[in-house]
Amino acid sequence: MERGGADIMLQKWGRLFGLACIVVTVVAAIALTGLHRTAQSSAMNKGIQPPDVSAKSVFVLNADTGEVLYEKNPDEVFRILSLTKLVTAYILVDRMGDRLSETIKINWPHLTGGSSAKLKRLDVWTLQDLLYGMVLVSGNDASLAIADAIGHDLLASEGKRGDTAKATARFVEEMEAAANELGAHNASFADPYGLSPKNAATARDMGLIAAKIFVDPRLLPAWACTERTLHIDGRQPRTVELKTSLEILGEGTVIGAKTGSHVSKNIYNLVTAWRAPNGQTIVGVVLGSKSHPARYDEMRAIVDSAPRDFPGLGAAEIATKRAPTDTCH
C-alpha cells in the first residue's frame, strides 16, 4: 500500500515537472520572439548611408511608417537657423488652428532684422497671412508677430500679462515643450525665427519634427504654396505679393521644404518632404552642406535614390487619404 502511494506521488511529480518544462519552453520562445522583434525594430530604425553628399549630417525618414531610410552622423547638434520656423508654424496651428482669421496689429517690436515679409508698423495682419509670410519668404518679422500673438494667448490662459518680450519668451518655452513632445530631445530655442546660435538641433530631431509637420493637413497648403497675394489692412492698406525662393519646391512630388542659411559662416541646411511613388510621405534633412546649390543637389540625389534602395517605395500607390496641397491662391 505504501509502495503504491509512492508510485502515485512519483507520477504526479513527473507530470508537474513535465508541465513546468513546457511552461519554461513557451516562456523562452516568447522571450526569443520578443528579442527578435526588438532586433528587427532596431534594424528597421537604423538607416543606411545616403548617396555621396557634402552635408555633415543627414537623416531621412518615412513619415508614414517611422522607418529610417538614410542617416549620416544624425545625432550631432548643429545650428538650425530658419529651420526653427517649422516649430513656430506647428505651434501656431496646434494652438490656434481654428483661429487663423484673428488679427494682430504690427508695431515696432515686430520689425526685427533679417528676412522680411514686408510688415509695417500699424499694419493689421491675420494669423493666416503671417503664416504665409513666414513660410513663403521666411519672414522673421512674421515669425515674431506669430510668437507675440500666441505668447500673449498662453500668458492670458495662465492669468498673466506681459509685453512683446515677455510673450515671446513664453512662446519660446512652448517651442521647447513642443519639440520634446515630438521626440526632438536635443532641440533648443532662443527665438521663434532662428537668428540666435542657441537655436540648435540634430538632423534626427529635425526629421522627427518634419515628419509631423509635413503630414499636417492644416499646414500642407502653406508648405506647397509658391506664391500668394495678401490684402493687408491697417494704416497703409495694400497688397503684398509673396513668392518663395525655395528652388526645390514644385519639383516632382515635393510637397514642402524649408532652408536655414548663414552665408558668412558657410552654413547651408535644408528640410524637404516629398511623396514616394507608393504615395507615402518621406522627409529628408541635410545639415551643413558645402554650398547653397549643394544642399539642393544632395536632396535631389536622395529623392532619386530612395525608390532604388528601398523597393517598397516604388510599389503601386497606397490608398491614403491626403489633404489637398494645391489650395494656395
Known binding residues for substrate: 258
Active site residue 82: yes
- From 85, 115, 143, 212, the catalytic residue: 85
Per the rule left: phi > 0, alpha: psi between -120 and 50, beta: everything else, 313 is: alpha
Interior/surface letters 112-144, b for 16+ CB within 10 angstroms, e for the rest: beebebbbbeebebbbbbbbbbbbbbbbbbbbb
Active site residue 46: no
Active site residue 101: no
* Residues recorded for the chain: 329
- Annotated binding-site positions: 258
- From 82, 143, 261, 289, the catalytic residue: 82
What is each CA distance from 272 to 61, 157, 213, 242, 255, in whole angstroms?
11, 35, 11, 20, 8
- From 138, 143, 261, 289, the catalytic residue: 138
Under DSSP, the state recorded for 216 is: -
The per-type count for the chain, helices as H runs and strands as E runs, is: 8, 11
CB 69 within 8 A of CB 310: yes
Catalytic residue annotation: 82, 85, 138
